[in-house]
């Protein structure tokens, strides 16, 4: 979530309005682009733009997206026992999405509200990262072997509201990427950075990810102007198309719209260890 304020915001909004058509384009459907669909969605603790807490509605949006891998933010309560807010049993039954497991509170779905769900594959590795900054923020780093046999690393993160914190958080992600040995990697999440110029903390990512794809406005959901949510790949041949999932249900269910991207099934890595690095969890 982003809190409004700061110099230059008005000018940025005007630029975003002028560029919205170019940024968002037309959402592509599965029948038009082959490949694996990944998505990122800040579910806003299942509280919609109408102020209602409705986890079932959030689940319907997730099913509506139809992703093979989806990163969620704000899927747990922030304080106390950090209780998970979604019906994961229902999601697995209705959408075929299984949870990438993490260690921590027994009642939480994920790590600092970050959750990764996947279908038709196997989890080969999971790490939980505490991101620096004044707010409690985190990231999940996991490797998922897709049904076709290709393995992709997912970094699911939720960056802070303060620019200085975001800069430190980008540096930590870059430290992770320094040890990537060429693995196909996707960074998914609410990165809380509305700037799309050189002042953006995300410009630091270009060293590891190359030129970033066009920003797709996803916030606020009723009139998306700011590209707070991102899908970024470390190889140009991975991401085929990025778009916002803008439906009446999604506009009502959270203050963020989901974003989604098709990735090519053509990539693969040959470093697979049949035993896994930390055990496997499979989704049929």
Q: Report the 3 state secondary structure along 203-250.
A: HHHHHHHCCCCCCCCCECCCCCCECCEEEEECCCCCEEEEEECCCHHH
Q: Encode pLDDT of 219-268 as tens digits.
A: 999 999 999 999 999 988 888 888 999 999 999 999 999 999 998 766 54
Separation between Cα atoms, residue 19 and residue 193, nearest integer Å: 17
Higher-pLDDT residue of 42, 15: 42
**Global pTM?**
0.84
| 4 secondary structure, DSSP code | -
Q: Residue 163 in 3-state DSSP?
A: helix
Q: What is the pLDDT of residue 167?
A: 95
For the chain, how far is it from start to end, CA to CA, in angstroms? 33
Q: Residue 69 in 3-state DSSP?
A: strand
State whether CATH 3.60.10.10 applies to domain 9-266: yes
């Amino acid at each position: 979530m982003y809190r409004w304020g700061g110099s230059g915001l008005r000018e940025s909004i005007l630029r975003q309005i002028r560029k919205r058509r170019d940024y968002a384009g037309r959402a592509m459907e599965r029948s038009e682009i082959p490949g694996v669909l990944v998505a990122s969605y800040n579910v806003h603790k299942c509280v919609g733009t109408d102020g209602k807490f409705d986890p079932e509605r959030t689940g319907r949006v997730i099913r509506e997206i139809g992703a093979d891998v989806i990163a969620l933010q704000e899927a747990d309560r922030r304080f106390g026992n950090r209780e998970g807010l979604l019906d994961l049993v229902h999601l697995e039954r209705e959408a075929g999405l299984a949870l990438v497991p993490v260690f921590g509170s027994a009642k939480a779905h994920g790590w600092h509200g970050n959750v990764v769900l996947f279908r038709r594959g196997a989890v080969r590795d999971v790490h939980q990262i505490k991101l620096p900054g004044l707010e409690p923020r985190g990231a999940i780093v996991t490797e998922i072997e897709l049904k076709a046999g290709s393995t992709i690393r997912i970094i699911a993160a939720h960056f802070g509201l303060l620019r200085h914190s975001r800069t430190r958080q980008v540096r930590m992600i870059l430290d992770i990427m320094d040890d990537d040995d060429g693995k196909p990697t996707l960074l998914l999440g609410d990165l809380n950075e509305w700037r799309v110029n050189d002042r953006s903390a995300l410009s630091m990512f270009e060293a590891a990810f190359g030129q970033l794809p066009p920003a797709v406005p996803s916030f606020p959901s009723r009139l998306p102007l700011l590209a707070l949510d991102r899908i970024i790949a470390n190889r140009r041949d991975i991401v085929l198309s990025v778009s916002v999932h803008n439906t009446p249900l999604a506009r009502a269910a959270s203050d963020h719209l989901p974003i989604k991207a098709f990735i090519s099934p053509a990539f693969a890595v040959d470093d697979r260890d049949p035993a896994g690095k930390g055990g496997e969890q499979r989704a049929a």
